[in-house]
C-alpha cells in the first residue's frame, strides 16, 4: 500500500516532546505514575522512517519500540538507517493504522505526531480507538493536531495556496508555485494597515520559512482538518481515555496553577478544566496542540504540589551574569532564548547556578532544591519554557572522556551523508561539511584524542591547528549532546 508520502519526502526528525522521559514527567506532575523509560513499550503511529523511535531506543536497550507507517519509502529508508546504526529494539511496520493489531493495553507510551488532523475522519477515529485499546493502565498517549481557532486564519492562506496550485500534480512544481504565490501575497498584504491582511502576511511569511516536505504534506495536503480541543477530548473519552494535560509548558502552567483568567472565566467554564482550556484556546487563538491522554478511571487532581517533583530532573542552559541592571543580593542568569531570569532567593539562585554548570546534563530536583519554595521556583523555569523536565537525565555532559563515543544513530546518519543528525538529547543537530561528518563517525569509542588528531591530520583538508580544532569540536559535540558522557 502506498500514499503521498511515497511521492515526496517528509522531513522526519526526532521530536523532543515525544520522548517517554518527558511524557512520563508530565504524567507524574499531574499526580499519576508513569512507566519507567528503561523497560517501557512505545508505539509511534505515523512513525515515518522511525528516526524518532530509533533515537529513543538507543537510550533504553531493554525497552521495545514499534513504529507504524503507511509509506513504504519511509519505512524502507528507516529500516536501512536503523540497521546501519545497529539499533536492535525498534520494529517498523508498513501498515495502515486502521489495520494495525497488538495485544490490548500493551503500550506504555503512544505517540502520534502530525497525523490526526491530516487524516480522513475514519482514520482519526481508528487512531483514537487504537490509543483506547492499546494504552497500558499507567500509559500516556500523545496526539498532536492543528487546533482551532488559530488555524481558521491559516485557512485563509491555504485557500490562496490551493488556488495557486490547482491542476499541478508534480510535487516540485506544486511547491514552487505555492512559494511564488505566498511571496507575492505576503508583499501585497504587507502594503496594507488592515489587521486581517497583516495577520495573513505573517502566516504567509511563516509558510515561506518551512521546508519543502512540510509545505507539500502539511499545508497543501488533501486533508486539513483543524480540531476544537473539546471535540478531541470528547472523541478520546468515547474510547475510554481521559485528557491529562498538553505538552506545552504554558498550558501545563494553566493546568497546575489557578490563574487570574481561571477565576475570570468561571462564569463561562463552571470550573471545568476542559471548558477552561477550550476557552483559553479561543483567548490565545491556539494553532496547535500536543494533547496527552491516559486511561479513564482514577480522578485527576491537577493542582500543583511540590512533592510531585520528587524523582524528576531538570535541564537548563543558564549562564550567570552581573551588570548594572543586577541589584545587590540578586542572582541573575541568561537563558537560551536571550531571556533573563533573576531571584533574591539564595536557594533558588544556587539551584540555577548548578543547573547552568551541569548543562547539557539534567540534574535531579531532589539534589538541587530541598525546600518547597525553591522546588516550586524551579518548576517555574519549566513552565516559562526555560528548562526541560524529565524522569531521568540523558547520558550527556560537558566532557566526553578519553575515548569519545558519539551517538551511533548520528554516526550512521553522518555515514549516509545526512546534514541533520540525532543527539543523545533527543534533538536534531545540523552538521556542516564532509570533514565534520567524517570526524563524528570516527568517535566510536576506540580512539584517544591524540589518535583522532592523527586521523584528521591525514585528511586532504588538514590544517596546522588540527589539534585545536579537534579539541574545540569535541567540546561542541559534548555540549550538543552528540557524545556520551563518560561513566
Ligand atoms: C506529517 S507525517 C508525520 C511523521 C512523524 N510523526 C513526524 O513527526 O515527523 C504523517 C505520517 O503519517 C503517515 N500516515 C498517514 N496516514 C496513515 C495511516 N492511515 N496509517 C499509517 N500511517 C499513516 C504518513 O505516511 C506519514 O509518514
197 pLDDT higher than 60: yes
Q: What is the pLDDT of residue 325?
A: 85
Give every strand in the sheet of 340-343, ordered side by side. 319-320, 331-334, 340-343
Span 308-337, average pLDDT: 92
Span 349-375, average pLDDT: 96
Span 170-193, average pLDDT: 96
Give 460's pLDDT tier (boundaries 50, 70, 90). low
Asked if residue 4 lies in contact with residue 217, where contact means CB atoms within 8 angstroms, the answer is yes
pTM value > 0.85 = yes
- Residue 168 is placed in which grid cell? 499541478
CA of 121 to the centre of ligand 1 (A): 15
Cα dihedral: 281, 287, 288, 289 (round 10): 0
5 lines ligand 1 (CB under 6 A): yes
9 pLDDT higher than 90: no
Q: What is the pLDDT of residue 310?
A: 95
Give 172's pLDDT tier (boundaries 50, 70, 90). very high
Q: What angle do CA 136, 139, 145 make, to 5 degrees?
A: 120
Strand partners, 144: 290
Mutate to test the pocket of ligand 1, among 2, 17, 70, 94 (most ligand atoms within 8 A of CB): 70
CA of 460 to the centre of ligand 1 (A): 42
CA of 76 to the centre of ligand 1 (A): 14
User: Whole-angstrom Cα distance, residue 204 to residue 185?
Assistant: 8
2 pLDDT higher than 60: no
Query: Among 61, 64, 78, 79, which residue's Cα sits nearest to residue 109?
Result: 64
Q: Which helix (H) or strand (E) holds 140?
A: strand 135-146
1 pLDDT higher than 50: no
User: Whole-angstrom Cα distance, residue 413 to residue 216?
Assistant: 24
In tens, the pLDDT along 256-313 reads 999 999 999 999 999 999 999 999 999 999 999 999 999 998 788 888 888 999 999 9
Span 122-148, average pLDDT: 98
113 lines ligand 1 (CB under 6 A): yes
144 pLDDT higher than 80: yes
Across the chain, mean pLDDT equals 94
Amino acid at each position: 500500500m502506498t500514499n503521498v508520502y511515497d511521492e515526496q519526502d517528509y522531513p522526519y526528525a526526532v521530536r523532543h516532546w515525544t520522548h517517554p522521559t518527558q511524557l512520563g514527567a508530565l504524567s507524574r506532575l499531574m499526580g499519576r505514575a508513569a512507566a519507567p523509560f528503561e523497560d517501557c513499550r512505545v508505539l509511534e503511529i505515523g512513525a515515518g522512517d522511525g528516526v524518532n523511535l530509533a533515537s529513543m531506543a538507543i537510550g533504553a536497550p531493554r525497552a521495545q519500540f514499534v513504529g507504524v507507517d503507511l509509506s513504504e519509502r519511509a519505512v524502507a529508508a528507516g529500516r536501512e538507517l536503523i540497521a546501519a546504526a545497529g539499533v536492535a529494539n525498534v520494529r517498523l511496520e508498513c501498515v495502515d493504522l486502521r489495520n494495525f493489531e497488538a495485544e490490548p493495553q500493551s503500550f506504555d507510551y503512544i505517540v502520534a505526531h502530525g497525523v490526526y488532523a491530516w487524516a480522513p475522519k475514519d482514520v482519526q477515529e481508528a487512531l483514537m480507538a487504537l490509543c483506547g485499546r492499546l494504552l497500558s493502565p499507567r500509559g500516556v498517549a500523545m496526539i498532536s493536531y492543528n487546533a482551532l481557532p488559530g488555524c481558521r486564519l491559516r485557512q485563509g492562506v491555504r485557500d490562496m495556496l490551493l488556488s495557486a496550485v490547482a491542476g499541478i500534480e508534480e510535487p516540485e512544481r506544486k511547491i514552487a508555485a505555492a512559494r511564488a504565490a505566498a511571496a507575492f501575497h505576503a508583499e501585497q498584504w504587507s502594503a496594507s494597515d488592515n489587521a486581517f491582511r497583516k495577520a495573513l502576511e505573517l502566516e504567509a511569511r511563516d509558510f515561506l520559512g518551512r521546508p519543502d516536505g512540510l509545505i507539500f504534506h502539511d499545508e497543501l495536503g488533501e486533508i486539513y482538518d483543524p480540531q476544537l480541543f473539546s471535540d478531541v477530548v470528547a472523541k478520546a473519552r468515547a474510547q475510554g481515555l481521559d485528557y491529562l494535560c498538553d505538552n506545552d509548558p504554558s498550558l501545563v502552567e494553566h493546568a497546575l496553577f489557578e490563574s487570574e483568567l481561571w477565576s475570570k472565566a468561571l462564569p463561562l467554564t463552571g470550573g471545568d478544566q476542559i471548558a477552561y482550556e477550550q476557552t483559553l484556546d479561543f483567548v490565545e487563538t491556539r494553532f496547535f496542540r500536543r494533547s496527552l491522554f491516559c486511561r479513564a478511571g482514577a480522578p485527576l487532581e491537577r493542582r500543583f504540589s511540590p512533592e510531585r517533583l520528587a524523582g524528576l530532573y531538570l535541564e537548563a542552559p543558564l549562564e550567570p551574569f552581573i551588570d548594572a541592571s543586577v541589584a545587590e543580593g540578586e542572582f541573575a542568569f541568561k537563558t537560551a532564548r536571550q531571556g533573563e531570569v533573576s531571584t533574591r532567593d539564595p536557594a533558588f539562585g544556587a539551584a540555577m547556578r548548578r543547573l547552568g554548570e551541569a548543562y547539557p546534563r539534567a540534574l535531579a530536583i531532589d539534589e538541587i532544591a530541598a525546600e518547597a519554595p525553591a522546588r516550586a521556583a524551579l518548576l517555574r523555569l519549566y513552565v516559562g519554557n526555560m528548562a526541560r523536565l524529565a524522569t531521568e537525565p540523558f547520558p550527556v555532559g560537558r566532557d566526553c572522556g578519553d575515548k569519545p563515543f558519539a551517538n551511533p544513530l548520528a554516526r550512521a546518519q553522518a555515514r549516509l551523508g545526512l546534514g541533520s543528525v540525532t543527539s543523545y538529547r533527543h534533538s536534531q543537530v545540523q552538521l556542516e561539511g564532509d570533514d565534520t561528518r567524517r570526524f563524528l563517525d570516527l568517535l566510536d569509542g576506540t580512539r584517544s584524542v591524540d589518535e583522532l588528531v592523527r586521523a584528521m591530520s591525514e585528511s586532504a583538508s588538514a590544517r596546522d591547528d588540527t589539534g585545536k580544532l579537534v579539541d574545540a569540536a569535541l567540546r561542541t559535540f559534548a555540549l550538543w549532546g552528540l557524545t556520551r558522557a563518560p561513566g
